[in-house]
Amino acid sequence: MNKGRESKPHIGVFGRCNVGKSTLINKLVGQEISIVSSQAGTTTDTVKKSMEIKGIGAVVLIDTAGIDDKSELGIKRIEKSLEIFSQIDLALITFNNDFGEEEDKLIGECKKFNVPYVLIYTKSDLSPLRRDLKATIEKQYKKKIVEFAHDNAKTTVALTKKIVETIPPSSYQKKGILGGLIKKNDVVLLVTPIDSAAPEGRLILPQVQLIRDVLDNDAITIVVKETELEYVLKNVYTKPDLVIADSQVFDFVNKVVDDKILLTSFSIVLARLKGAFDEYVKGTPKLDSLKDGDRILMLESCSHQPTCEDIGRVKLPKLITNYTKKKLEFEIASGTTPFPRPITDYALVIQCGGCVATEKQLKSRLLTIIQAQVPISNYGIAIAYMTGIFKRATKMFAEKA
């Protein structure tokens, strides 16, 4: 499962084998998405389903394997299920009257990754929740248990209400990418190169997101390739309020655009939106103190087929090598794959713009790096630094802080 492909809030459903996770999901969605069986271990791998929840909007429900499967294969499935905690915005922890070590472990994972959770007693239509157990759990975890009956629509409504109350609003309330930077009728000029790395017949996601965000701010957007930039500046609008360029053409655009005009990149504005922006700014100067043999980890939020002009795998490593004049080793980690080696083995980590990741997914990915005090940067910020326009490209964000 490529968990980084959806920018909707993610809700994980966890519990023991045959506790009723799949049935619960089917009831929430209103159709049979996950296979239901009385045989333990029916759900062997994580299963995703998008649905709409009133008050939140579109979400992704994730059905996971049973947390108590002790077989050799089951242990691997549990490991995959636990990885989900770094990607989700809310956990639904299901249980029956045998609440114990497994549920404690799930709650521990929630605390580890700062994930809010709902405790759900399933199959209450078959066997009532013991009153003593309910009192103990609610006292220990300071949470009200939701009692769910598979044949009672009212309990589905109650559970949905609890989900809306518990999930962080920041996971579904969309923050404007350019919020506070532009105003009504401002002119925003987007410089978007079209090369062999560009997708056939369409713009890449950050470009589309910026166009929509400009329109949402009642501003005016102009989209142009770098080869037509000078013509547009001279013949269409001589002074846009803001220019946003692809990082790959930073150097050229910096020379063409008047230094009185605000200039930044797609990658930088996305980093400000949902990345560790201050950490990026602080870590980027590490580029000046790299030594021969240092390792640099390039983090890509998506998984894609690399090309000869790939920014993270080809262009940026080449630019860094030319800038530092050092013999460096570059490694790649795509999507949510584990880091190739312990994070402290790297002198610097450089994260992509994260256009396909949620804020939660991106920050969870970077958490261990920040905790290990390994310097991190961002594609666009690193390029701005090496092309000498770091201060210009980040100036507007410092002023708005």
pLDDT, tens digit, 9 for 90 and up, residues 237-272: 668 999 999 888 888 999 999 989 999 988 888 888
In order, the DSSP letters of 238-289 are: S--SEEEE-GGGHHHHHHHS-TTSEEEEHHHHHHHHHS-HHHHHHHGGGGGG
User: Is the model more confident about 392 or about 324?
Assistant: 324
Residue 324 has pLDDT above 80, yes or no: yes
Nearest CA among 177, 166, 202 for reference residue 88:
166
pLDDT for the residue numbered 37: 42
pLDDT in the model for residue 310: 77
What confidence tens digit (pLDDT) does each residue in 163-222 have?
Answer: 999 999 888 877 678 878 899 999 999 999 887 666 677 888 788 889 999 999 999 999
Residues 23-62 have pLDDT tens digits of: 899 888 875 544 444 444 444 457 888 889 988 989 999 9
Other C-beta atoms closer than 10 Å to the C-beta of 153 total 9
CB 305 within 8 Å of CB 200: no
Lowest mean pLDDT among 3-12, 313-322, 354-363: 3-12
Report the predicted TM-score, pTM, of the whole model to 2 decimal places: 0.65
pLDDT above 50 for 142:
yes
Residue 285 tokens read as 């100067």
For the chain, the C-alpha Rg in angstroms (whole number) is 24
- What are the chain's domains? 3-171 (3.40.50.300), 187-270+389-400 (3.40.50.11420), 277-386 (3.40.50.11410)
**Confidence band for 117, pLDDT divided at 50, 70 and 90:** very high
pLDDT value at residue 45: 54
User: Would the pLDDT of 394 be above 60?
Assistant: yes
Name the pairing type of β-strands 187-191 and 295-300. Answer: unpaired
Residue 266 near residue 349 (C-beta atoms within 8 A): no
Question: What does 47-110 look like in DSSP terms, one character per residue?
Answer: EEEEEEETTTEEEEEEE---TT--SHHHHHHHHHHHHGGGT-SEEEEEE-TT-SHHHHHHHHHH
176 against 103, higher pLDDT: 103
Beta bridge partners of 146: 120
- Residue 360: what pLDDT? 79
Residue 399, Cβ density class (10 Å: 0-12 exposed, 13-18 middle, ≥19 buried): exposed
pLDDT reported for residue 43: 45
Structure token pair of residue 316: 């940026």
